[in-house]
Amino acid sequence: MRIGAPGAEKPVVRVDDTHYIDVSDVTPDFDERFFGSGGVALLADRIRQGDVREFGDERIGAPIARPHQILCIGLNYSDHAAETGQAVPDEPILFTKSPNTLVGPNDDVRIPRGATKTDWEVELGIVIGRRTAYLDSVDEARAAIAGYLVVNDVSERAFQMERGGQWSKGKSAETFNPAGPWLVTPDEIADVNDLDMWLDVNGVRRQTGNTKTMIFDPYVIVHHLSQFMVLEPGDLINTGTPPGVGMGLRPQVWLQPGDVMELGIEGLGTQRQRVVGPR
């Protein structure tokens, strides 16, 4: 985890719901250098030393520092593809999201200027743990993953679908990638391909899903991407969303200022964002 004001977060390890260990003496941040140097393993000794502190009213930031890149996979749940009326893809659909969209799990989400169709997407996020390219097999991808987290791939559908060009235009507004509250290492997850996930808007359940309906699982995704680009330590991959997005509802529903999104994934924690209007 990272706690503190925006731009001044400190790295910590969560002990339980009310306690943490400050590890800022081991690493200044959970960033590319940390993951690339095998930093997760280095934390073990620091954790054994104890020095447990109690959470106060500190803001929770994204559990990783701004990554080198945010990569996203579209239409990656068979039931979501069905609700949109689109064919199941033969290989992962890739688009990018600006790294400066990353915010904390409970930070406000801001509707951009000119937006008319802002939407929600609960997703499983993957954080890359080492520099990775041209993996020879899907199994090798397991060793390249540092951990998993909850993300909300907020999207402006009018920009994405009606303005031409790439999907990135509808994905890259400020605050459009709440992440966290914490990063969970793979050894803490029994089966990443069987995690329940959900999202509510104003207390109404909109998304209910499970990672088992993914078309391409996390290992396939990492292996696939490694054939086309170098993945850097700390890179974030958003892996797609289950059904129930506003675009898929009939009638369609879009986020408005004052709305509240609450979402989570089994074992990875929960988020809560208030929607605010344009600057």
**Whether the Cβ atoms of residue 101 and residue 175 lie closer than 8 Å to each other:** yes
Q: Return the amino acid letter for 271.
A: Q
- pTM to 2 decimals? 0.96
Region of 267 on the Ramachandran plot (φ > 0 left; ψ -120 to 50 alpha; else beta): left
pLDDT tens, residue order, the chain (279 aa): 999 999 999 999 999 999 999 999 999 999 999 999 988 888 887 888 778 999 999 999 999 999 999 999 998 998 877 777 777 889 999 999 999 999 999 999 999 999 999 999 999 999 999 999 999 999 999 999 999 999 999 999 999 988 888 889 999 999 999 999 999 999 999 999 999 999 999 999 999 999 999 999 999 999 999 999 999 999 999 999 999 999 999 999 999 999 999 999 999 999 999 999 999
- CB count within 10 Å of CB 210 equals 17
Quote the CA–CA distance of 193 and 73 in Å, as a whole number: 16
The helix/strand/coil state of 243 is coil
